[in-house]
C-alpha cells in the first residue's frame, strides 16, 4: 500500500497517546542491561508476559550476568527454567552466554547481523534485542505489533503478508526512542486482543498452536523435569513411568541425546554437563 505521511503522523500520535495513558510495567522494561534484555526476549518467545514475570526474576537472581550463566551447568539452567516450557530456550540462553564470553569478551554485539548467528536468535529477536538493549531503530514484527498494523492499516483485509507490514513499521519507527515506541506498539496490540477478535488472525502467517496435551513436546518436557528432579534415571525407569507411550519415549530420549540435552552411559540418563 502507498504510505501516506499524514496517516502515519496521526497513527504515531494515537499510539503515543495510548501508551502514555496505558503503559504496562515490567521489570525488564526498567533496565538497559543487554544481558537482562536477552534473558527477557528469549523467555518471552511463545510465552505470555504473566507467566514470564515471576520466572524472570528468579532466573536473574540465580544467573546475574553472561559470565555467571556461561559458567553454570546445563543442569542448573534447566532446573531454573522449569515451569516456563520450551526447555530448548533455556539451553539456547546457556549457549548464548558461552558464545558472548568466548567470542565477544563478555560484551553482547549490538548488531542484528551478528546476533542472528547466536543459538535461538532469529531475525526478529535479533532486531528486538537491539531496539530494547541499545535503543537502535531496527525493524521487526512480533505478534502484538502485527495485530496493531493489521488493525490500523488493513482493517478490511485478510491474508495480510508481513512483507506489506514491514514498510509501514519502518516508516513509523521512532528513530529517537525506538525502545519505548516498540513498547507502545506491543501494549496497544495486547489491548486490541483483549478488546475482541485478534487482528493477527487476518495475517497470512497466522497459525493455530498445536495441542500440547499428549504431544511429543509434553513428553520431552516431562522427561527433562524427571531428570532435573531425580538427577539420573535408566531408560527402563523412564519407559515404566510412561507405559502407554514407551515406544515414543525411547524415540524422544534418543532425540534429546542427539540435541545435547541428555547423556546416556551404561543405559543411565542424566542432563548433559
**Residue 179 located in a structural domain:** yes
Measured CA to CA, the distance from residue 245 to residue 258 in angstroms comes to: 20
Question: Domain check: are 127 and 37 in the same one?
Answer: yes
The rounded mean pLDDT for the chain is: 93
Residue that terminates a domain, selected from 202, 232, 256: 202
- The CA distance from 104 to 200, in Å, is 37
Query: Number of structural domains, the chain?
Result: 3
211 falls within a domain: no
Stated pTM of the model: 0.92
Nearby residues of 118 by Cβ (< 8 Å), 6 or more positions away: 92, 95, 96, 99, 126
Q: How confident is the model at residue 2 (pLDDT cuts 50, 70, 90)?
A: low
Are 37 and 97 within one domain? yes
Q: Active-site residue among 2, 41, 53, 67?
A: 41
Q: How do residues 51-69 score in pLDDT, each as one tens digit?
A: 999 899 999 999 999 999 9
What is the rounded (10 degree) CA torsion for 155, 159, 162, 165? Answer: -20
Q: How confident is the model at residue 210 (pLDDT cuts 50, 70, 90)?
A: low
Q: Is 41 a catalytic residue?
A: yes
Predicted confidence (pLDDT) at residue 213 exceeds the cutoff of 80: no
Domain span at residue 179 reads: 5-25+138-202
SS3 162: helix
Residue 156 placed within a domain:
yes
**Secondary structure (3-state) at 203:** strand
The CATH number given to whatever domain includes residue 94 is 1.10.340.30
Q: Is 72 in the same domain as 121?
A: yes
Amino acid at each position: 500500500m502507498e504510505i501516506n505521511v499524514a496517516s502515519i503522523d496521526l497513527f504515531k500520535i494515537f499510539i503515543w497517546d495510548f501508551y502514555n495513558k496505558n503503559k504496562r510495567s515490567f521489570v525488564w522494561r526498567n533496565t538497559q542491561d543487554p544481558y537482562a534484555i536477552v534473558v527477557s526476549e528469549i523467555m518471552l518467545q511463545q510465552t505470555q508476559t504473566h507467566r514470564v514475570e515471576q520466572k524472570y526474576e528468579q532466573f536473574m537472581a540465580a544467573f546475574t550476568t553472561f559470565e555467571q550463566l556461561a559458567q553454570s551447568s546445563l543442569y542448573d539452567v534447566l532446573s531454573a527454567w522449569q515451569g516456563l516450557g520450551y526447555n530448548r530456550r533455556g539451553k539456547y540462553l546457556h549457549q548464548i552466554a558461552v558464545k558472548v564470553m568466548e567470542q565477544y569478551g563478555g560484551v553482547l554485539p549490538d548488531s542484528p547481523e551478528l546476533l542472528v548467528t547466536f543459538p535461538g536468535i532469529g531475525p526478529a529477536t535479533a532486531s528486538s534485542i537491539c531496539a530494547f538493549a541499545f535503543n537502535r531503530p531496527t525493524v521487526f514484527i512480533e505478534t502484538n505489533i502485527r495485530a496493531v498494523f493489521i488493525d490500523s492499516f488493513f482493517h478490511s483485509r485478510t491474508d495480510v503478508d508481513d512483507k506489506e507490514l514491514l514498510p509501514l513499521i519502518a516508516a513509523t519507527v521512532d528513530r529517537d526512542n525506538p525502545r519505548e515506541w516498540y513498547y507502545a506498539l506491543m501494549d496497544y496490540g495486547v489491548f486490541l486482543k483483549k478488546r475482541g477478535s485478534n487482528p493477527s488472525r487476518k495475517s497470512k502467517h497466522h497459525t493455530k498452536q498445536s495441542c500440547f496435551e499428549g504431544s511429543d513436546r509434553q513428553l520431552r518436557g516431562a522427561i527433562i523435569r524427571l531428570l532435573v528432579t531425580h538427577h539420573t534415571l535408566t531408560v527402563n525407569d523412564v519407559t515404566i513411568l510412561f507405559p502407554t507411550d514407551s515406544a515414543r519415549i525411547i524415540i524422544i530420549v534418543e532425540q534429546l541425546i542427539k540435541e545435547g540435552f541428555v547423556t546416556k552411559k551404561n543405559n543411565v540418563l542424566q542432563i548433559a554437563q
